[in-house]
Amino acid sequence: MKVHEYQAKELFEQFGIPIPEGKLANSCEEVMAAIEELGLPVVIKAQIQAGGRGKAGGVKLAKTKEEAQEIAKNMLGKPLVTHQTGGQGKIVRKVLVEKAADIKKEYYVGMVIDRAQRKPVIMVSPAGGMEIEELAQEKPELIFKEPIDPFLGLLPFQARKLSFKAEMPVREAAKILTSLYKLFIAKDCSLAEINPLILTSEGNLLAIDAKLNFDDSALYRHPDVKEMLDPLELDPLEYEAMKYHLNYVRLDGNVGIMVNGAGLAMATMDVIKLAGAEPANFLDVGGGANVEMITQGFKILLSDPNVKLIFINIFGGILRCDVLAQGVIEAAKQVEINIPVLVRLEGTNVEKGRQMLNESGLNFIVAKDISEAAKKIVETLGTKE
Ligand code: GDP
Ligand code: MN
């Protein structure tokens, strides 16, 4: 799960990481009110969950009230396109107004879990402000890394070594690294980034940007983080799927799929592509799917206007074929279906499942195996040239 910069900064504050004084604003009036409180100059920052805002015009300095008004007016309610948003961009609904900092130097600080090492890794660089991917390409010698033993945590000498290598004021920087590591562990982050951490002209360190991602599987123990979820940042169908613990990713094609197991889902997508069609989504209902999950998953596929055919491909192991059939039939009764629904079942209680589908009075196309299913997809949709 991702959060906005202003939310990440709330957590920074809780953990003692220095941030600029700032206020969140939803409207031009609130921007002006924030300026009354903060004084000028301020930086106005678009709150969208994508990087590269600076280059795209989503981070602007305002020296006067008139400038601030103009910036706020042009930012709020408008889409912002950065290299991470895709062509349509993301609508800016909130801006963060912050006291502008006087930057003497910019550093990079990042933390991720290194799966190969099975440890958190801290990365720092004296070349902050650049995207880390770019930095890794162009100046890999300027990135300094330190793996952290999860049982020992970040040791003081490691924090000092990293700070020294990145040419940061060591004592102050080591404190910030230690606090960020505490936050990273305490909140089950999958990524924490300060880019840039800056040295101000007064000689202080300040986190002027903040990015935190969280491990979805650990959200149950962080209600405060879970509450930060901004549904408007998600695809509406993906948000709906999340509520029912469905593994769903929306794609560009027109064949909606519902499958159990990620491996089967990928194989199914391959079959659809080989048949010359394109999947409209990835939907893995998982091994333990119940009738409600099936019903909701099916409804999500039906509410995607791009979907011209639904292909349900289930291997009934833990999830029995009759349970699947019951879920599909129930969902079909609750919503109007005017597209073909192709079903291929195999496994536990398959005969019962097929019989239920055939006797449901609903117009399911039942395929006996995957190659027959592929043929039916082509027959129904035709192939793209
Ligand atoms: P990002 O582009 O989405 O990563 O947004 P950032 O918050 O990192 O801002 C982009 C850039 O704007 C930073 O790298 C800084 O160079 C600049 N910037 C942000 N805040 C300030 C500020 O308070 N003062 C000055 N002078 N520059 C700032
Ligand atoms: Mn940044």
Is 193 marked active-site? yes
Structural tokens at position 166: 């990145």
Which residues of the chain, if any, have pLDDT below 70?
383-385
Check: CB of residue 194 under 8 Å from CB of residue 212: no
pLDDT tens by residue, 213-268: 999 999 999 999 999 999 999 888 999 998 898 999 999 899 999 998 889 999 99
Ligand 1, pocket-test mutation among 2, 43, 59, 130, most atoms within 8 A of CB: 59
261 alpha carbon – ligand 1 mean position (Å): 43
Question: Which of the residues 108, 181, 244, 248 is marked catalytic?
Answer: 108
Closest atom of ligand 1 to CA, residue 56: 2
Q: How many CB atoms lie within 10 A of CB 384?
A: 9
* The pLDDT of residue 331: 83
* The pLDDT of residue 383: 60
- CA atoms of 93 and 136, how far apart (whole Å): 32
Ligand 1 binding pocket includes 42 (Cβ within 6 Å): no
Domains of the chain: 1-20+102-233 (3.30.470.20), 21-100 (3.30.1490.20), 235-381 (3.40.50.261)
Ligand 1 binding pocket includes 103 (Cβ within 6 Å): yes
Give the number of whichever ligand sits closest to the CA of residue 193. Answer: 2
* The pLDDT of residue 385: 45
Q: How many residues in the chain?
A: 385
pTM of the shown model:
0.82
Residue 66 burial by Cβ neighbours in a 10 Å radius (0-12, 13-18, 19+):
exposed
- CA atoms of 369 and 206, how far apart (whole Å): 60
- CA atoms of 372 and 221, how far apart (whole Å): 46
131 alpha carbon – ligand 2 mean position (Å): 8
Is 244 marked active-site? no
The protein residue with its alpha carbon nearest to ligand 1, atom 10, reads 54
Q: Which residues contact 56 (CB under 8 A, 6 or more apart)?
A: 80, 81, 82, 83
The protein residue with its alpha carbon nearest to ligand 1, atom 2, reads 54
Ligand 1 binding pocket includes 51 (Cβ within 6 Å): yes
- CA atoms of 219 and 285, how far apart (whole Å): 20
pLDDT tens by residue, 52-104: 999 999 999 999 999 999 999 999 999 999 999 888 899 999 999 999 999 99
- CA atoms of 195 and 128, how far apart (whole Å): 6
Ligand 1, pocket-test mutation among 35, 99, 102, 103, most atoms within 8 A of CB: 103
